[in-house]
């Protein structure tokens, strides 16, 4: 069964078996099928006693690999030739993505749940600021969740709420261990494709276990004297919420990169955006550093963080400006798992074999020289 190029997305979804990719490993893809279509397809199948399968383990059609079409966690796909007895199928088409992230590799996310701990490990404002800027740079909705509120007094909790309100955020304070504040998290996740992110050891896996007890994800202890978390999540995978929506856990990391254009950085600070809405800078390309008549520069708390991140962004841009054009030095290549990556091009002068004609001509020139001698 092939796909006609002039078919619309709605026609494909109405005529074929569709679903969402929950996990990717090697050359296999776990696809959860749309339930209504699955029930209908199983009823029409010839497998005696077949029951609706919640998901199929799929391969990818070779034609997708030939055209360089990758398949990512979160992709909406069309599945062909389902084998209900063996719970197998083949991905034949990938629908256009609404969003795409490379770290982690996931598609169609529309919400970020940024998880930090109020204590153990202690909340570090600069680290939190870096994560928030990285989250804002995705253009997705961001919910800030602060775990382990049971370790702080009511006064300290109010202090952090007031401080983060000044940053432009209304944090959700929870205690996964005490099962406090989880209702607000459920409301934030309802009917959304959410990526859970944050540094290691703040309780992301514990939070997912609290939201979906059947997962039983491995939880890591804090390490040594630094009280930093150990990484417990090694890959990205989608989990369906009973109330609607999907959750994706991501590998924990403590220092996200801020590889953005210097001129865009201020837009990732809600405080700076508010200042730009109520005033204007003298220069259109103002970096809000030393320029005169700047609407952003001022005494807001995270202005020092902005200047620090600005230096990083300028350094990153300088490296890019000095580097050769990536398109002329790299090529795209599909791996065995279907994922694409950039590889350096080989220099033709250095690695191309000498043609037989050139070899014969060089030999003839050498013979002519010997005769002349």
Sequence-ordered strand ranges (E) for the chain: 17-25, 28-33, 55-60, 76-83, 88-94, 100-102, 105-107, 111-117, 141-147, 172-173, 193-197, 222-223, 228-229, 237-240, 246-249, 330-334, 340-344
170 burial level (CB within 10 Å; 0-12, 13-18, 19+): exposed
CA angle 107, 172, 174 (to 5 degrees): 105
The neighbouring-strand residues paired with 77 are 19, 94
Neighbours of 241 (CB within 10 A): 16
Three-state DSSP at 87 gives coil
Q: By the 8 A CB rule, do 185 and 115 touch? A: no
Burial of 357 (0-12, 13-18, 19+ CB in 10 A): exposed
**What is the C-alpha to C-alpha distance for residues 354 and 116, in angstroms, rounded to an integer?**
60
Burial class for 176, CB neighbours closer than 10 Å (0-12, 13-18, 19+): buried
According to the model, what pLDDT value does residue 257 have? 82
What stretch of H or E contains 12? helix 9-15
d(CA 2, CA 228): 52
The Cα 238–Cα 231 span in angstroms is 18
Separation between Cα atoms, residue 260 and residue 337, nearest integer Å? 29
Q: Which residues pair with 101 in a beta bridge?
A: 106
| pLDDT (0 to 100) of residue 354 | 65
Q: How far is CA 291 from CA 277, 281, 294, 299, 355, in A?
A: 18, 9, 6, 15, 60
CB count, 10 Å around CB of 163?
13
Question: Can you give the pLDDT at residue 14?
Answer: 47
Span between the terminal Cα atoms of the chain, in Å = 73
Q: Which residues contact 114 (CB under 8 A, 6 or more apart)?
A: 131, 132, 135, 142, 143, 144, 145, 197, 198
pLDDT at 364: 72
Of the candidates 35, 2, 5, the residue with the CA atom closest to the CA atom of residue 19: 35
Task: Output the tens digit of pLDDT for each of the chain's 373 residues.
Answer: 445 444 555 544 445 799 999 999 888 999 999 875 555 555 554 444 444 457 899 999 999 989 989 999 999 999 998 888 888 999 999 999 999 988 788 999 999 999 999 998 899 999 999 999 999 999 999 999 999 999 999 999 999 999 999 999 999 999 999 999 999 999 999 999 999 998 888 888 889 888 887 776 555 444 444 344 444 445 788 999 988 899 987 765 567 888 899 999 999 999 999 999 998 999 999 999 999 999 999 899 999 999 999 999 999 999 888 877 655 556 656 555 455 556 666 555 444 566 777 777 777 776 666 665 5
CA-wise closest residue to 127 among 138, 137, 116: 116
Q: Which domains does the chain have, with CATH numbers?
A: 9-96 (2.40.50.140), 102-249 (3.40.50.300), 262-322 (1.10.40)
pLDDT of residue 4: 46
Model confidence, pTM: 0.74
């Amino acid at each position: 069964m092939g796909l006609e190029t002039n078919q619309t997305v709605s026609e494909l979804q109405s005529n074929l078996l569709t679903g969402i990719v929950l996990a990717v490993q090697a050359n296999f893809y776990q696809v959860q099928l749309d339930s209504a279509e699955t029930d209908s397809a199983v009823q029409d199948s010839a497998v005696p006693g077949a029951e609706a399968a919640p998901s199929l383990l799929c391969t990818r059609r070779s034609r997708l690999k030939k055209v360089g079409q990758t398949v990512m966690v979160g992709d909406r796909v069309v599945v062909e030739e389902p084998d209900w007895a063996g719970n197998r199928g083949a991905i034949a088409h990938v629908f256009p993505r609404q969003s795409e992230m490379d770290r982690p590799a996931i598609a169609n996310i529309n919400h970020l749940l940024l998880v930090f701990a109020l204590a153990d490990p202690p909340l570090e404002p600069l680290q939190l600021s870096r994560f928030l800027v990285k989250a804002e740079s995705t253009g997705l909705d961001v919910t800030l969740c602060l775990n382990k509120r049971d370790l702080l007094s009511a006064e300290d909790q109010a202090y952090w709420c007031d401080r983060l309100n000044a940053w432009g955020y209304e944090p959700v304070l929870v205690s996964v261990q005490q099962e406090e504040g989880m209702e607000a998290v459920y409301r934030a996740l309802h009917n959304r494709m959410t990526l859970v992110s944050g540094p290691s050891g703040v309780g992301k896996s514990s939070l997912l276990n609290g939201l979906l007890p059947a997962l039983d994800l491995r939880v890591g202890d804090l390490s040594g004297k630094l009280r930093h978390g150990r990484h417990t999540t090694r890959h990205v995978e989608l989990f369906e919420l009973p109330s609607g929506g999907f959750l994706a856990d991501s590998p924990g990391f403590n220092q996200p990169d801020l590889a953005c254009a210097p001129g865009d950085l201020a837009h990732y600070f809600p405080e700076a955006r508010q200042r730009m809405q109520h005033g204007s800078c003298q220069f259109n390309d103002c970096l809000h550093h030393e320029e005169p008549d700047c609407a952003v520069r001022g005494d807001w708390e995270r202005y020092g963080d902005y200047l620090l991140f600005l230096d990083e962004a300028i350094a990153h841009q300088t490296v890019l400006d000095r580097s050769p054009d990536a398109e002329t030095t790299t090529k795209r290549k599909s791996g065995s798992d279907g994922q694409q990556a950039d590889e350096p091009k080989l220099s033709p002068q250095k690695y191309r074999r000498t043609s037989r004609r050139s070899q014969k001509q060089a030999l003839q020139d050498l013979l002519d020289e010997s005769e002349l001698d």
